[in-house]
Amino acid sequence: MRAIVFDTETTGLDPAQGHRIVEIGAIEISNLIATGRVFHVYVDPERDMPEEAFRVHGLSREFLADHRNFAGVVDDFLTFIEDLPLIAHNAEFDVRFLNAEFAKLDRPPLDPSRIVDTLAMARRLHPGSPSSLDALCQRYGIDLSRRDKHGALLDAGLLADVYAELMGGRQAALSLQTVAVNRLAGQSDLLTARPSPLATRLSDAERAAHQEFVAGMSKAPLWDRYGAADKS
In 86-143, where does DSSP find H-type helix?
91-104, 118-125, 133-139
Low-confidence ranges of the chain (pLDDT < 50): 173-192, 230-232
pLDDT at 177 (0 to 100): 42
Q: Which residues in 131-159 are b (16+ Cβ under 10 Å) and which e?
A: bebeebbebeebeeeeeeebbbbbbbbbb
pLDDT score at 87 = 98
Q: What pLDDT is recorded for position 156?
A: 97
Asked if residue 4 lies in contact with residue 85, where contact means CB atoms within 8 angstroms, the answer is yes
What is the domain extent for residue 85?
A: 2-172
3-class secondary structure, 33: strand
pLDDT digits (tens, 9 = 90+) for 135-149: 999 999 999 987 777
pLDDT at residue 28 in the model: 98
* Residues paired with residue 27 on neighbouring β-strands, in sequence order: 5, 38
Q: How is the beta sheet containing 2-10 ordered, strand by strand?
A: 33-42, 21-30, 2-10, 86-88, 115-117
Q: Is residue 219 part of a domain?
A: no
- pLDDT tens-place string over residues 88-112: 999 999 999 999 999 999 999 999 9
Q: Is residue 221 part of a domain?
A: no
Q: SS3 for 219?
A: coil
The predicted pLDDT at position 50 comes to 97
What is the value of pTM for the model shown? Answer: 0.73
Q: Is residue 144 part of a domain?
A: yes
Q: What pLDDT score was predicted for residue 196?
A: 61
The pLDDT score that the predictor gives to residue 209 is 80
Q: Is residue 118 part of a domain?
A: yes
The answer as to whether 220 is a domain residue is: no
> Do the domain assignments include residue 199?
no
CATH number assigned to the domain comprising residue 87: 3.30.420.10
Residue 229, domain member (yes or no): no
Gap between the Cα atoms of 220 and 212, Å rounded: 13
- In three-state secondary structure terms, 26 is strand
pLDDT of residue 212: 76
Per-residue model confidence (pLDDT) at position 219: 62
- How many domains does the chain divide into? 1
What is the rounded CA–CA span in Å between residue 160 and residue 70? 24
In a domain, 192, yes or no: no
Active-site positions read: 150
